[in-house]
Each structure stands twice: as C-alpha cells, then as structure tokens.
Amino acid sequence: MTPSTHSAAPASADPPWRAQELLLMSEVMRLVGQSLAPEVVLREMLHLLSELLGLNRGRIALADGVDVTGGARPGTPQRANAPGPSSIRYAYGLTRAEMARGRYAAGEGITGAVLATGQPMIVQDIDAEPRFLARAVTRDRLPQETVAFIALPIEVNRRTVGVLGVHRIRRRNRLLDDDVALLKILATLAGQLLQLRSLVEEKTQALEARNALLTRALESAAARYGIIGTSPALLQALNELERVSQATASVLLLGDSGTGKELFARAVHLASLRRDAPFIKVNCAAIPDTLFESELFGHERGAFTGANTARAGWFEQADRGTIFLDEIGELPLLMQTKLLRTLQEGTIVRLGGKRELPVNVRLVAATNRDLATEVERGTFRRDLFYRLNVIPIRLPSLAQRREDIRPLALHFLNRTNQANQRNIYLSAAALEALEAQPWPGNIRELANVIERLVLLTDGTLVSKADVARFLPPAAALQAPTARSAEPPAEPIDAPLVRDYRDRHSHSAQALRDALARHGGNQSRAAQSLGLTPRQFGYRWRKLQPGA
C-alpha cells in the first residue's frame, strides 16, 4: 500500500479516457445545477464512475452525526479530527444489505483510517492488505483478478467528514494517477455539495421561521383595535363593545388585572364617533388623595400653595372625546360624589374656581374589584355604581382564551425583538409550554415572560426548558385561592400581579407590625403586605382615633 504510486499501465493513456472524463464532469455539474440533494447527485456520480471509467462499487461513508457546517473556517489551521464511527450513506453497485454492513469504528479498516488521518490511501492489492476488511462486499463477489481500492478524504472547511472509496481492476489500461486526480476533484465537489446543502437547509428553516413570525405579526397588526386573538370569549367581548360603541352611556370594564382593560377602553373610543377627539387615560390608584380634585377637574391660579397658573384637568382635556378612569374602585368617597355630579350635569368646577365649565365627555371606567360588594360595604356610592354600570363588559382572563396564547406570545416576541434588536424564536415545544401555563397575571404576565426570554435567553431558538427556566415559581402560577384573614408575618416578594384585597384584609396589628419591621416606612410596609401605598394609607387612617 502506498499513498501515491503508478500502476503498470502503459505511459500513454488511451485517448477515449479524456472524453469519458469530460462527459462525467459535465453530467455531474448538470446534476448539481438541477438539484442539491446529495442522494441524487452523489449516487449518480458514483454510477458514472462505474459506467464511464470502470471505477466500481463506489461508496461515500460519512462520520456518524457529523455537522458538515461545523468545521474550522477557511484559512485557519486544520484541527485535529476526533476519530469516530462512520457508515456508508451513498453507494452504487452495493445492495442495501452491503451498505448496512459498511459501518466502521474509529480508525477501523481503510475507511476508518482515512477518516481519522485525513490522508488518501491506495491499496494496490486488497488480498495483500490485512487492513482491508472486505466488510461491505465480500471477496467472493469481486473479480478473481487483482483488485485495488482507492479511498480519498471528503473535507468540509478543512475538516475530514467522510471518505470516497472505489474498487479498481489493476489491468485497466489507464494511469492510476489519472484516476486519483479525478477522484480528488469529485471528493472536493462532494464536500462542497454536502456543505451547501446543509447551509441551504439551515437558511431555509430560518427563513420559514421568520416568515411564520412575520405572518403572525401582520395578522396581529391587522387585529381589530390592536386587540389580538380569535377565541370565542374575546370575540364576544369585542362584539358587545362594538354594539355599544355609538352610544353615549358610560362603559364599565370588569375583569382581572392584566386582561387588557386599557386596550378595550381605547377600542371603545376608536369604534365611536369620538375617535378623532382626545382619549385621556387616568390611573386612579396612582393619584394621591390630596391631588384627585386638581388632577380630574383642574385648578385656578392661587387655589393652593404652588398653583402659580391655572390648569385644565383631565375632564377638560378630554372634551368631545373619551376619558378612561382605570382602577375606579380606588376613588375616595368625596371624589365619587363630584364625579357623579359631573356625569349627571355635564359640567365641572375647577378647584378654587366658581364658574361651571361644560364638558362633553364619554366615560369608560375599569376595575378588578366587585363594585357591588363595595357598595354593600359602604366604600363605593350606590348611585355612582348604577351610573357606571349602564354598559358592563366583562373581559375574559387569559385562561378563558387559551387559543389566543400562541398569537399573543408571537406578537410580544416580535415587538420585543424589534425593540431590542434581537432575533429570538420560539420552538413548537416552547409555545406548547406557554399554552399549558395558568397565567394568573393574564396578558401582562405573558408579555413580561416573553420580554424576559428575549433579553436573557442564551441561544436563538427558545426551547421548552428555557421557558420553564424563565417562568415564575410554581407557587406564583397557582390560581388565586381564598385569602386568609392574616397575611404572612414576614415580607414576601411582590407577585407579578397584585391580588385584590378588600379593606378588611389586614388586621390593625398586622399593619402595626409591618410598620415596625420597616422603620415606619409605609411604602415598604405596604409592599410587604401585598398592598399599594394608597391601600395601606387608607387602612392606617381608619385605625386612627376619630377616623
């Protein structure tokens, strides 16, 4: 055996060989132009080697599990190959049983040695070479005359990933070097074809995933009023919204926190004849008691210390349009009275002013509280409740619209990718894992989880394991249960979505203990009890003498 020797052929090759070589190469290139499928091109290439040049029983063995795109980049030093098992993937002149027998351990036989060393090997006489295993094709199936075996490495990015091997009859009237030179060209072509096919498949998969994402994003963009989903519960709520959009009566949006009340309030505005007028949103839970009147109705100059100029309140700014009062259950009783008067008479009086100003405003209110219960407890005015409850629309929780979890997740993924210049995708298993979650925090919680995945995941494709890693603890995902009279004594992390707590949810001692633990800081004490600072302050004032 020698890496490069001549056979005993005459010095001049028979002229028809050159024509046969040109025909073989032209046919192979024609096939490459028609298809990048290795099973088509490589098998036909081996067929032509047999029919035109007499190089029989050609086979291509590839390393098991080889990543043909994972080699070293061109121009970098060749890495040492990690020898591993290989098997015949493509062949001509071999039966399926013979191909199945063509498996080689690391460094085993001629094929294993070429794969391990990356060097070509030429066996002049297979009967005289102990390392020739005759495993795929037994010796009795070969001609009785002297048979040679040529094995050349197939490289991708200067890494040996396979072996091209053929049988050759020694008595052929053709130079061995000519055969080896042609086989080197074909081995190089095979490596390039394998790499190109793998790259095309990878790019195709990426484009298909991207197209699916863009398609869903376009579908989301075309969703009515920006509300994404097609579940029956959502469509029913949208249908109720559109039926009352042209009315002037107040709309009360009911439902859990995080179900998209602001989007629905804006949808009421967009579906109405007021769509070209202002849409003003106000979060009642974020306004201190002392500023409610000034914020909602405005103030005159000198109405209080620091009021150096007059200011129009939110109702004035929403004139001819829509005002959205979120968390209206947080409105103090005094302000409830003034709001009722504004709704009944269509006028407001600025703080510190005497003149009534007419306003033409449609009110959309939202709450996650049971206002009927609040009315019975005396914390919400009955007449205001009746005024607001003319058109109640209950928004479904995310658990009631599971069909919408997938399009919502993809919408948030696309939005977060664009905002952060990322290119993250969700696998099918990851989407199924998201659909299986209870989502007590509803759409807001889902959006937060998707943003967390995009910003913190390591790879490009998010797996089911990644989803599990970035989801909140299991305890936080349980559906809300009956609340105990006393909260835990020790501070706990604030949940993703704060549960509604009625005004009797905490005892006086619990409030005092929380204040003591946090050095009198009401904000931190409130957080430790799962309350907003406003809720804590309200309960604390109720405990004071004369309250």
Q: The tokens 């970098």 sit on which residue?
A: 76
DSSP state of 44: H
Q: Domain boundary at 455, 476, 497, which?
A: 476
Q: Is position 298 within any domain?
A: yes
Work out how many domains the chain is built from and give that number.
4
Residues shown for the chain: 547
Same domain, 336 and 324: yes
Q: In whole angstroms, give the CA distance from residue 45 to residue 29.
A: 10
Counting DSSP H helices and E strands in the chain, the numbers are 19, 17
256: CATH: 3.40.50.300
Q: Domain boundary at 451, 476, 501, which?
A: 476
Question: Which residues lie below 8 Å from residue 486, measured CB to CB, with a gap of 6+?
Answer: 506, 507, 510
SS3 track for 99-143: HHHCEECCCCHHHHHHHHHCCCEEECCHHHCCCCCCCCCCHHHCC
Q: In whole angstroms, give the CA distance from residue 311 to residue 324.
A: 19
Domain region containing 531: 483-543
Same domain, 97 and 148: yes
pLDDT for residue 492: 38
Q: In whole angstroms, give the CA distance from residue 459 to residue 461.
A: 6
Q: Is position 240 within any domain?
A: yes
Q: Is position 452 within any domain?
A: yes
Pairing mode, strands 86-91 and 147-156? unpaired
Same domain, 432 and 353: no
Beta bridge partners of residue 362, listed in sequence order: 322
| Whole-Å CA distances, 101 to 88, 95, 239 | 8, 10, 67
Same domain, 414 and 335: no
437: CATH: 1.10.8.60
Q: Is position 210 within any domain?
A: no
Q: Is 440 exposed, middle or buried (0-12, 13-18, 19+ CB in 10 A)?
A: buried
60: CATH: 3.30.450.40
Same domain, 158 and 232: no
Beta bridge partners of residue 142, listed in sequence order: none
Q: Is position 460 within any domain?
A: yes
pLDDT for residue 192: 87
**45 within 8 A of 190, measured Cβ to Cβ:** yes
Q: Is position 43 within any domain?
A: yes
**284 within 8 A of 322, measured Cβ to Cβ:** no
Same domain, 62 and 162: yes
Same domain, 112 and 89: yes
Q: In whole angstroms, give the CA distance from residue 547 to residue 458.
A: 55
Same domain, 491 and 514: yes
Encoding tokens for residue 280?
A: 């003003």
Encoding tokens for residue 413?
A: 């993924």
Encoding tokens for residue 75?
A: 């121009």
Same domain, 60 and 170: yes
Question: Which residues lie below 8 Å from residue 168, measured CB to CB, with a gap of 6+?
Answer: 54, 55, 56, 147, 148, 149, 150, 176, 179
Mean pLDDT for each consecutive 10-residue tract of the chain (547 residues)? 46 64 88 80 90 91 68 41 80 92 92 92 92 90 91 90 91 85 92 84 80 62 74 90 90 93 94 94 90 92 88 94 94 92 93 92 94 91 93 94 93 92 91 93 93 89 90 52 37 40 70 78 77 78 64
**197 within 8 A of 38, measured Cβ to Cβ:** yes
Q: Domain boundary at 425, 447, 476, which?
A: 476
Pairing mode, strands 298-299 and 311-312? antiparallel
Same domain, 296 and 360: yes
Same domain, 455 and 499: no
Q: Is position 222 within any domain?
A: no
Same domain, 266 and 357: yes
**Residue type at position 217:** A
Q: Is position 358 within any domain?
A: yes
